Amino acid sequence: MALLQIEGGTPLQGHVRVSGAKNVVTKLLVASLLSNKKCRFTSVPDIGDVRVTVELCREIGALIEWDREEGVLETITPELKTSYIPQRFSGANRIPILMLGALLGRTNGEVIVPTVGGCDIGKRPVDFHVEALQKMGATIEHRRMLKESAWFAHAHDGLHGTVITLPYPSVGATENCLLAGSTATGTTVIKNAAMEPEVVELILFLQKMGVPVTIESDRTIRLLGTNRFYEAEHKIIPDRMEAASWATAAIATKGRIFVEGAEHGRMISFINKIRQIGGGFDIKEHGIEFFYTGSLQGGLHLETDVHPGFMTDWQQPFVVLLTQTQGLSIVHETVYENRFGYTDILREMGGDLTLFRHCLGGSECRFALKHFAHSLAVKGVTPLYGKEIVIPDLRAGFAYLLAALVASGKSKLSGLHFLERGYEKLDAKLEALGASFSREEERVPALEEALVN
Ligand code: EPU
């Protein structure tokens, strides 16, 4: 098993370049399946989730050439080889469910998609996806077999545009509606749609492919289905989760990092919180420099929310940072009901963290009175101590890595394939920042490990 041994306490100093966004490239790869035209992507990160999605697309018939060094990927799907997604992709990530939207318009046959996986951060249902596609004319059924379960779907009479009002601005459900609406007859209107930058990138790419799509006010997207597609090329935007990860690492380790590719416009709410705790930042032409200013104050109320709010994927490393701020801070998670599971380990490392089931710090969220431990009080400053940790999911993984970098003493991190689902060239970046660490060689290639987990 691969292990990272980390000797904490060294301020991280230097320069990192943020890689392409995981949650953009994987969705654009799926979108490329809508047509039989060539698509070309640049700034593609070589990470576990992209490798899995590439395998998934190849399974369906995509011919893919990927120059991993250059980050250039070309794909074309002349025809569908199959519309059955094998079970081995079920636990790998959240991408398979999007195959319903992408493939239902391209085949009259059945699309079979295994029950989706992804990080273990709550129930993560797909009811919004299924209800929206049914409203567009798909017949969808969930079948449980002896050891497996899958969605069986078809749209023998094709998909048709309609008005879909999402109960919550779900990123994945908005993306599925966009994919399905691209080949549906007539106009699809998505109300209460997610407006995350990653969703906007999918919209831009669909427009390049030939789909007339507009973003209207008040979370409404309108698109007209087509069967005439064009070749398209797209540069993947830098990953704002990775950017925030290095930003928190700079400040929590009392260092200074120039995060090349960190984009001001996509990190507004994050930067506000950095300012509130007294963290330093300097917004430059090609990125943002984040640095420790000598003291950090807590007393923060942080609520995760849909874009343009403070994103839920920034929450975990930020909580580690809050352990290094003076005073009591409150974090209210309103996107996922169960995204504080990782805090147990931080407590064992010395963090003063208390979970609450009610909504702390002001507004009530949709988890009020539902008994989920979704509010957190963090009291600082607390020293952290090194520990042996098995990483359970991607974002928790970076929080543990950061805690280990801040802690005094040695930590050992295993389960690194989770981290490598979303962080490219992690060792090289840590080395460039002067982190004190070593790695024991991997026995199992990351892709295979990701596929069996
Ligand atoms: N939800 C439902 N029913 C649905 C769909 C969503 O109840 O049918 C609920 C979810 O349970 C959750 C909330 O709606 O409570 C938001 O979920 P959403 O659908 O927006 O999330 P997602 O599409 O599954 C993506 C990212 C996540 C990111 C969220 C929120 C990908 C592959 N994943 O997930 O990223 O946290 O949007 O921004 O795009 C990560 O990268 O580590 C990650 C978890």
pLDDT at 380: 94
pLDDT score of 452 more than 50:
no
- Centre of ligand 1 to C-alpha 441, Å, is 33
Pairing of strands 13-17, 256-260: parallel
Kindly list the catalytic residues. 119
Q: Residue 348 corresponds to which tokens in the numbers above?
A: 């064992």
Residue nearest ligand 1's atom 23 by CA: 172
Q: Read off the pLDDT of each residue in 38-61 and give the average, rounded to a whole number.
A: 97
Q: Read off the pLDDT of each residue in 186-192 and give the average, rounded to a whole number.
A: 98
Percent of the chain with pLDDT strictly greater than 90: 88
Q: Read off the pLDDT of each residue in 418-424 and give the average, rounded to a whole number.
A: 95
- For 56: left if phi > 0, alpha if psi spans -120 to 50, otherwise beta; the answer is alpha
pLDDT score of 7 more than 60:
yes
Domains of the chain plus CATH, in order, are 2-19+239-446 (3.65.10.10), 22-235 (3.65.10.10)
- The CA-CA-CA angle for residues 418, 421, 422, to 5°, reads 115
Is 172 a pocket residue for ligand 1 (Cβ < 6 Å)?
yes
Is 129 a pocket residue for ligand 1 (Cβ < 6 Å)?
yes
Residue nearest ligand 1's atom 7 by CA: 125
pLDDT score of 292 more than 70:
yes
Using one digit for the tens of pLDDT, what is the confidence trace for 85-96?
Answer: 988 887 767 899
Q: Read off the pLDDT of each residue in 231-248 and give the average, rounded to a whole number.
A: 98
pLDDT score of 116 more than 90:
no
Ligand 1: atom nearest CA of 93 is: 32
Q: How confident is the model at residue 57 (pLDDT cuts 50, 70, 90)?
A: very high
What predicted TM-score, i.e. pTM, was given to this entire model?
0.95
pLDDT at 442: 55
Host H or E run for residue 413: strand 410-414
Q: Read off the pLDDT of each residue in 230-247 and give the average, rounded to a whole number.
A: 98
**Can you list the positions of beta strands (E) in 99-250?**
111-114, 139-144, 149-154, 163-165, 187-191, 213-216, 220-224, 232-235
SS3 state of residue 320: helix
pLDDT at 163: 98
Q: Read off the pLDDT of each residue in 189-204 and give the average, rounded to a whole number.
A: 98
pLDDT score of 443 more than 90:
no
Q: How confident is the model at residue 26 (pLDDT cuts 50, 70, 90)?
A: very high
Q: How confident is the model at residue 450 (pLDDT cuts 50, 70, 90)?
A: low
Number of other residues whose CB lies within 10 A of the CB of residue 167: 11
Host H or E run for residue 406: helix 394-406
Is 124 a pocket residue for ligand 1 (Cβ < 6 Å)?
yes
* Cα Dmax for the chain: 65
- Centre of ligand 1 to C-alpha 117, Å, is 11
Ligand 1: atom nearest CA of 175 is: 23
pLDDT score of 213 more than 70:
yes
Q: How confident is the model at residue 449 (pLDDT cuts 50, 70, 90)?
A: low
pLDDT at 397: 97
pLDDT score of 440 more than 90:
no
Question: What is the DSSP code string of 236-286?
Answer: PPB-HHHHHHHHHHHHHTT-EEEEET--GGG-HHHHHHHHHHT-EEEE-SS
Cβ atoms of residues 270 and 310 within 8 Å: yes
pLDDT score of 446 more than 60:
no
Instruction: Name the β-bridge partners of 188.
Output: 223
Ligand 1: atom nearest CA of 196 is: 38
pLDDT at 453: 39
- Centre of ligand 1 to C-alpha 52, Å, is 18
pLDDT at 444: 52
For a mutational test of ligand 1's pocket, the pick from 124, 202, 269, 337, i.e. the residue with the most ligand atoms closer than 8 A to its C-beta, is: 124
pLDDT at 144: 84
pLDDT score of 3 more than 50:
yes
More confident residue, 70 or 452: 70
Instruction: Name the β-bridge partners of 310.
Output: 304
Q: Read off the pLDDT of each residue in 362-377 and give the average, rounded to a whole number.
A: 92
Specify the range with the lowest mean pLDDT, choosing from 117-131, 195-209, 386-400.
Answer: 117-131
Is 394 a pocket residue for ligand 1 (Cβ < 6 Å)?
yes
For a mutational test of ligand 1's pocket, the pick from 23, 129, 133, 419, i.e. the residue with the most ligand atoms closer than 8 A to its C-beta, is: 23
- Centre of ligand 1 to C-alpha 147, Å, is 25
Residue written as tokens 């208390």? Answer: 354
pLDDT score of 447 more than 70:
no
Q: Is there a cis peptide before residue 378, judged by omega within 30 degrees of 0?
A: no
Closest CA to 166 of 194, 201, 136: 194
Closest CA to 66 of 47, 92, 93: 47
Instruction: Report the mean per-residue pLDDT for the chain.
Output: 94
Q: How confident is the model at residue 390 (pLDDT cuts 50, 70, 90)?
A: very high
Using one digit for the tens of pLDDT, what is the confidence trace for 335-357?
Answer: 999 999 999 999 999 999 999 99
- Centre of ligand 1 to C-alpha 81, Å, is 29
- Centre of ligand 1 to C-alpha 5, Å, is 32
pLDDT at 148: 79
For a mutational test of ligand 1's pocket, the pick from 241, 335, 419, i.e. the residue with the most ligand atoms closer than 8 A to its C-beta, is: 335
